Amino acid sequence: MNLTHHEQTPHPEHPFADIIRILGKGKKGSRPLTQEEAHRAMRMILANEVLPIQLGAFLMLMRVKEETPEELAGFVQAACESFHHDALSTHVDLDWSSYAGKRRHLPWFLLSALLLAENGIRVLMHGSEGHTAGRLYTANVLPYLGIQPATSLQEAQQQLEQRRFSYISLEHFCPKLSEMIELRPILGLRSPVHTLVRLLNPFNADYSIQGIFHPSYRSVHQQASALLRLDSAVLKGEGGETERNPDVDCLVQSVHNGELSDELWPALFARRHVKAEQLDPEQLALLWQGKIHDDFAEATIIGTAAIALKLLGKADNQEHAHQLASEYWLKREVTAFSVG
């Protein structure tokens, strides 16, 4: 007997459907993913084993409920497995995320990172650009310092060997995550990708420093770092970048040898500065060269470097870290960068 349309054998369920069901089964039936489930989900996404409609549903369900530390850790583990670490032999001291872009101030944190590099600390910076309109992104600013972003992890390795600093865009080491970040203007919202990319560590650096915009994400990053066994410092950075705003108190939430700690770094100025009317990237090189002076910018550079130095164990306390960063700044090689 022939089967009617309604009696035909149903299609087998897609393997990713289970992930969506866990997240979307209503207020009482849904739950967060375990770290293992999150790892499996991201591994499937990065392997292009998920349909576009499933990816959209997954990203928005995650956005509505917000990520747990376990989910972030699982996502990051899956992403890092795709980086082919075996081909990368360079030792990196500090992994520095740069995904937000700047809107109110110039990215002075770039000079903090270069200051550390000039003093023997290898810094790998990674980020993405263009996903949010009206912002100034790291990749677009580096040429003003005579630095070209790397276009592969191998080129980043060469740059790290040559000058102890390299910047690489996400598209060049995890293109699938880069594609997902670009969905923001289509979906109208940020997604978990904007969070997890800050925890990526392509070279397995000893330490990670991460800037966030929403304070509630600071502890989530901290706890995820602990699950990943990554020594890190997380701060509410200026504009969401990994940059200390010297005009306000800065709470740094860290992980060291599995131990979580919170530390308040006080504001460096009594009154807030007025933001510049326009952002001119050429000022980065001019400030480094000593051709212009800017109290806010210098305090930002030194203050951000100080947090990194304490994280790296180069200083025992805030005062020592700030003193060391100030010495680095005063002794910098002013001919290191050229404008243009």
Q: pLDDT tens digits for 278-312?
A: 889 999 999 999 999 999 999 999 999 999 999 99
**Under a CB-based contact definition with an 8 Å cutoff, are residues 202 and 83 in contact?**
yes
For 131, what's the count of Cα atoms within 13 Å in the CB-facing half-sphere? 27
What pTM was estimated for this model as a whole?
0.91
**C-alpha to C-alpha distance for 235 and 221, rounded to whole angstroms:** 10
As a whole number, the mean pLDDT across the chain is 91
* pLDDT confidence of residue 108: 97
Tokens encoding 170: 């996400």
CA distance 92 to 94: 6
Count CB-CB contacts under 10 A for residue 278. 5
Q: What is the rounded CA–CA span in Å between residue 58 and residue 192?
A: 10
Domains of the chain: 13-80 (1.20.970.10), 90-330 (3.40.1030.10)
- For residue 124, the cross-strand partners are 95, 166
Taking only the tens place, the pLDDT of each residue in 242-272 is 999 999 999 999 999 999 999 999 999 988 8
pLDDT over threshold 70, residue 86: no
Q: Give residue 340's pLDDT.
A: 41
d(CA 177, CA 175): 5
